[in-house]
Structures are given as C-alpha cells and as structure tokens.
A and B are shown apart, each in its own frame.
Chain A
C-alpha cells in the first residue's frame, strides 16, 4: 500500500551566525511512513524539528538532503496541494479580510466553482463554530478564533491528507475538545492526519501512530500500544472479600497495598512478581478478583525518557569529541 506521507533521510541544515556562517542541523535523516487513514502524532519538545519537518513537507523550506513524498508525489507538487490541507503554527491571515472573504479567496485558488464555494465556506465556518463573526475583519479575532479560521482553511478543499502544526495551540479547554472531536470525525471519514504537538494527552487520545522527535532526530516511532507495551513497570491487582491478615502476608512481595474500602484492596506488584501465583493464593483464601492490569508507562513517561536518552547521548558524543 502506498504511504500517504513518506520521508527518507530528510535532512535540513540552516546556516547560523552573522559573520562566520556555520551549519546547524535542524532535522537529521528523518525517515517515516504514514499510512492512509492514520492519525499520526508528531511529538517532541520545543525546537525538536517538528515545524521544520512540516515546512519541508509543504516546501516552505527545501531539504539539504533526503526526500519527502505526499500521496506518492514529491512534496510541493502543485497537483498534490489540491489534495492536502495545512494549518501552520500560530497562523496569521490577512487581517483586512473577513473570515468569509479569506475562505472565498482560498476557495478560488482551489478553483472551487462559485455556488459550491459559497456553500462550502458557509458549511465549514458553521462546523468550526464561527457564527456572525465571519463577517468581521480578522484583525478583530482572538487567537482561538484565528486558530479555528486556520482549521477551516485547512479543510476547505476536502483534503485527503491534513497537516496540523500544533492545532490545539491558543485554544481554551472547550476549543480543544472541539478540535479533538473534529480530528476524530476526520479520522472516521478515512482522512490521513499528521499533527505535531507537545500536548501528549491529545496524542494519546487521538493518534493511531506517533513519532517522537528530539533534537532533530527520530527517537521513537510506532503505535502507542507498541511503544507502551515494552514498558510494563508492574501490575495492579484489585481483589474483594479478603481478610486484612491475609493481605498483610503479601507485604514482602507487594510494592504497595492500599485498602480501597471494606474488604476491597489494591495490591501493586513489581515486574519481578508473578501475579498469577499471588492471585491463586488469594482466591484460595476466599478472595474474588475485581481486576488485574499491567502498569504501563504513559506516553509522557516514554517521552521524558527518550528526551533524556537523546540528551545523554548528545552529552556523551560531545565528551568524546572534546576528549
């Protein structure tokens, strides 16, 4: 199956410094594949290279080496641009135009015919919750409202692939919920969504696959389940109908025992414990099982660990170089 988005060794060096220019590598040999219909979360701390990647995909900047393809065509291909939508980070639009006029202008660039254009502009503004404000000049819009206009223009051409750079930025909790629902709706329609974010809870809820970028390098890539499965850090066993004295016998083998209420206990076991054996003992003593769950790292734990690992790696490389 052809990837919706594909990069191979995509690299971008910027020249920094005033007099003596030296190269600064913002993105280092990025290779990713995003399948059609995926909601792909592109995660990383500030300055990791997320926006650089998106700009490379939009051909707002050009790669130093490597290649990028969207829908099987080179990034920047005019025919491809008819089939994609893009929301830049902190978008700015012509503030002398109204939301309606802006979308009408972009609709013309997409060659959407007059009547259809009007209908589509109206429908998308309705969907994004922009009511009577659509006839106000954009200079009067709040940051959150501009973000909604940005989303509206990204969806105007009914795109197959949608690139969203920090789509939750500047939105209040209600706005974030709306955008989350919108992304889920687009996913259900079979569209491919590539969004960058540093808000991990959003990625956890929305993404089928994620990539973690740190200092321009790919630190992890996969489904959220895959990335978390390797990091089971224990078990939580909840049992009911067991006497306190029986539970206390497990003190040496459990990490923590918490009485929830009455004869209901939460027993946290380490990875070295065998939960099946403990459960069998407790059931033999009259307990009944409520639940047994693995304790996995959250995406945030994984994220922090990968950022730290790359940081350590960079320090070690620096040390060797100096040495």
Chain B
C-alpha cells in the first residue's frame, strides 16, 4: 500500500476517536422528530418535506465536517508538531497531503452513507400503509432512486469544500482557513451570476474580472439538484457525470496546489 493510504486510514481513525460521527446521532434524532411532527401536521406533503429536510441536513452536517475538520487536517499536525516524527519517516510531504485528504473523504463517505440509509428508512416508514393510488399522486416515489443522484452530488460538493479547506490549511492558520473556506463556499453558491455580469455592467475590465473569477472560483450551485429530485424532475446522468468531472478537476488542482505549498514550508 502507498504511504498516503496509511495516512488516510490514520486520519479516518482520528475522526472516529474524535467523535466526529456523533453528528449522526443528532441527524437521526432530527430526522425521526421531524418525520413524527410533519406526519401530524401535513396531509400528503410529508414525504416531500422529509426528503427536502433530510437532503438539506445531509448537506449541512457534511459541510460542518468538511470545513471544521478539513481546516485542521494539516494545521493541527503542524501546530502540535506531530508532523516532525511523521516526516522523518519515508513519507513525502505530498503523500501526507493526499493521505489526509483521502482520510477525511472516507469519513465523509461513511457519514453520508449512514445518513442515506437513515433517510431511506424514514421514507420507507412514512410510505408504509399509504394506498397506491395516493402514492401515484406524489411527485416522486418515496423510495426514489433519484435521491441517490442528489446525495452523490452533495458528496462531491463536500469533497470540493474539503479540498478548499485543505488548500488553505496547508499554509494558513485554522481561523483564517475557516474564514476563507466559508467565504469561498458562499461566493461559490452565487458563482453562476458572475458569468452573466455583462448584462448589468458595461465596463469591460469589470466584466473580464467577473469572468475570470467565474472560472477561478468553484461553482457550488452546480451540485444542488435537491429541489429537482424532491419534485420528481429528471436529473440526467450526463449532468451528474459532467459535474463529477468538474469536481474531480477542481479537487485535483486544489490538492496539487496544497501539496506544492506544503512541499516548501518551513516548520519553525
């Protein structure tokens, strides 16, 4: 196995020991409480609301992990000086960066997988006993496989946010990394607007700058197909594949950037 894979497994183990997965308990409680409450309050809309709520919660909980664990991935190693004995071993600095990143991706994967199972379980519980003629009136079936497309894109979005956090964490303090990552995430939600900037501004320099930022910053809105899936609108596989390719390219660029910055860093 590659040194990066050992670092990844150690990072995953650290997440487990640091009780990162406790968020799953909160997620489960939220989901069960919401389903019980919504089941009482709404008629026929409960499945749709639960899908909406649970996908949003998956994204939000994952985002918290991606940002707050992500910013500590490298900076914690450096601040606590555990990087000293580690880099005296036959481990390249780039392998440390890649291993740390893959470790957190594994943590997020387990997290999202458990959440997905919980969502399907709650939806199965809600749909149970509902007559078929009522179910046919729903926008999408309760156990709609298209939910997996939305969840896959959420996971890719989290992987991209983690790469942004890792990039900043490779040379900056945790606080600054958190601010930068959160800032990039928020801007990334509205990135598509930058492309249309020439519609409201005529100055060529401003338009060129907006276009440049559009290509430089991640377009996080691409990953959000929650509304379409909940309302039963089709999400083409080609779109998911193109978004996955976009995410992979962006992640590769960020991880390479993080490795390059980390490679020449002095640990004073």
Chain A interface residues (CB < 8 Å from chain B): 14, 55, 58-62, 78-79, 81-82, 84-88, 90-94, 96-97, 105-106, 108-111, 150, 153-154, 163
Residues in A whose Cβ lies below 8 Å from that of B264: 62
Per the 8 Å Cβ criterion, residues 144-163 of B in contact with A are: none
Task: Determine the distance from Cα of A52 to Cα of B239 in the docked complex, in whole angstroms.
Answer: 53
CB distance from A147 to the nearest CB of B (A): 12
Task: Determine the distance from Cα of A55 to Cα of B82 in the docked complex, in whole angstroms.
Answer: 14
B84 within 8 A of A: yes
Question: Is B91 a contact of A94 with CB atoms below 8 Å?
Answer: no
Given contact pairs A61-B266, A96-B14, A91 touches B84 in the complex (Cβ within 8 A): yes
Residues in A whose Cβ lies below 8 Å from that of B88: 58, 60, 81, 84-86, 88, 163
Given contact pairs A55-B267, A60-B267, A92-B80, A109 touches B90 in the complex (Cβ within 8 A): yes
Question: Is B6 a contact of A92 with CB atoms below 8 Å?
Answer: no
Question: Is A92 a contact of B82 with CB atoms below 8 Å?
Answer: yes
CB distance from B261 to the nearest CB of A (A): 14
Most buried by A among B80, B83, B266: B266
Task: Determine the distance from Cα of A106 to Cα of B6 in the docked complex, in whole angstroms.
Answer: 9
Residues in A whose Cβ lies below 8 Å from that of B80: 92
Given contact pairs A78-B92, A109-B3, A109-B89, A93 touches B268 in the complex (Cβ within 8 A): no
Residues in A whose Cβ lies below 8 Å from that of B83: 60
B18-57, CB under 8 A of A: which get 1 and which 0? 1000000000000000000000000000000000000000
Question: Is B85 a contact of A93 with CB atoms below 8 Å?
Answer: yes
Question: Is B90 a contact of A81 with CB atoms below 8 Å?
Answer: yes
A/B pair count, beta carbons within 8 Å: 74
CB distance from B13 to the nearest CB of A (A): 8
Other A-B pairs, 4, CB within 8 Å; known A60-B84, A85-B88, A91-B81: A94-B10, A105-B6, A108-B1, A150-B85
CB distance from B145 to the nearest CB of A (A): 38
B87 within 8 A of A: yes
Residues in A whose Cβ lies below 8 Å from that of B82: 92-94
Top 9 nearest A-B pairs by Cβ distance?
A96-B17, A86-B88, A88-B84, A61-B266, A109-B89, A60-B267, A81-B90, A108-B6, A92-B81
Per the 8 Å Cβ criterion, residues 57-102 of B in contact with A are: 80-92
Question: Is A109 a contact of B6 with CB atoms below 8 Å?
Answer: yes
Partner pick for A105 among B10, B81, B267, CB 8 A cutoff: B10
CB distance from B78 to the nearest CB of A (A): 10
Question: Is B84 a contact of A81 with CB atoms below 8 Å?
Answer: no
Number of interface residues of B (CB under 8 A): 25
Task: Determine the distance from Cα of A58 to Cα of B164 in the docked complex, in whole angstroms.
Answer: 29
5 residue pairs of the A-B complex, CB under 8 angstroms, read: A14-B266, A81-B90, A88-B81, A106-B85, A154-B85
CB distance from B16 to the nearest CB of A (A): 9
Question: Is A110 a contact of B89 with CB atoms below 8 Å?
Answer: yes
| Cβ-closest chain A residue relative to B92 | A78
Question: Is B89 a contact of A106 with CB atoms below 8 Å?
Answer: yes
Most buried by B among A59, A60, A106: A60
Task: Determine the distance from Cα of A153 to Cα of B84 in the docked complex, in whole angstroms.
Answer: 12
| Cβ-closest chain A residue relative to B263 | A62
Question: Is A109 a contact of B267 with CB atoms below 8 Å?
Answer: no
Question: Is B85 a contact of A78 with CB atoms below 8 Å?
Answer: no
Residues in B whose Cβ lies below 8 Å from that of A108: 1, 6
Residues in A whose Cβ lies below 8 Å from that of B10: 94, 105
Residues in B whose Cβ lies below 8 Å from that of A106: 85, 89
Per the 8 Å Cβ criterion, residues 227-268 of B in contact with A are: 264, 266-268
CB distance from A64 to the nearest CB of B (A): 10
Residues in B whose Cβ lies below 8 Å from that of A110: 89-90
Task: Determine the distance from Cα of A251 to Cα of B1 in the docked complex, in whole angstroms.
Answer: 79
Residues in B whose Cβ lies below 8 Å from that of A86: 84-85, 88
Task: Determine the distance from Cα of A258 to Cα of B10 in the docked complex, in whole angstroms.
Answer: 67
Task: Determine the distance from Cα of A60 to Cα of B81 in the docked complex, in whole angstroms.
Answer: 11
Partner pick for A82 among B85, B90, B267, CB 8 A cutoff: B90
CB distance from A67 to the nearest CB of B (A): 17
Task: Determine the distance from Cα of A78 to Cα of B91 in the docked complex, in whole angstroms.
Answer: 7
Residues in B whose Cβ lies below 8 Å from that of A78: 90, 92
Partner pick for B14 among A87, A92, A94, CB 8 A cutoff: A94
CB distance from B84 to the nearest CB of A (A): 4
| Cβ-closest chain A residue relative to B266 | A61
Residues in A whose Cβ lies below 8 Å from that of B1: 108
Task: Determine the distance from Cα of A150 to Cα of B84 in the docked complex, in whole angstroms.
Answer: 11
Partner pick for A96 among B18, B86, B90, CB 8 A cutoff: B18
Residues in A whose Cβ lies below 8 Å from that of B89: 81, 106, 109-110
Residues in A whose Cβ lies below 8 Å from that of B3: 109
Task: Determine the distance from Cα of A110 to Cα of B84 in the docked complex, in whole angstroms.
Answer: 15
Residues in A whose Cβ lies below 8 Å from that of B267: 55, 60-61
CB distance from B219 to the nearest CB of A (A): 36
Residues in B whose Cβ lies below 8 Å from that of A154: 85
Task: Determine the distance from Cα of A88 to Cα of B86 in the docked complex, in whole angstroms.
Answer: 10
Question: Is A91 a contact of B14 with CB atoms below 8 Å?
Answer: no
CB distance from A316 to the nearest CB of B (A): 30
Residues in B whose Cβ lies below 8 Å from that of A150: 85
Residues in A whose Cβ lies below 8 Å from that of B90: 78-79, 81-82, 109-111
Question: Is B14 a contact of A59 with CB atoms below 8 Å?
Answer: no
Task: Determine the distance from Cα of A207 to Cα of B236 in the docked complex, in whole angstroms.
Answer: 72
Most buried by B among A108, A110, A150, A154: A108
Residues in A whose Cβ lies below 8 Å from that of B13: 96-97
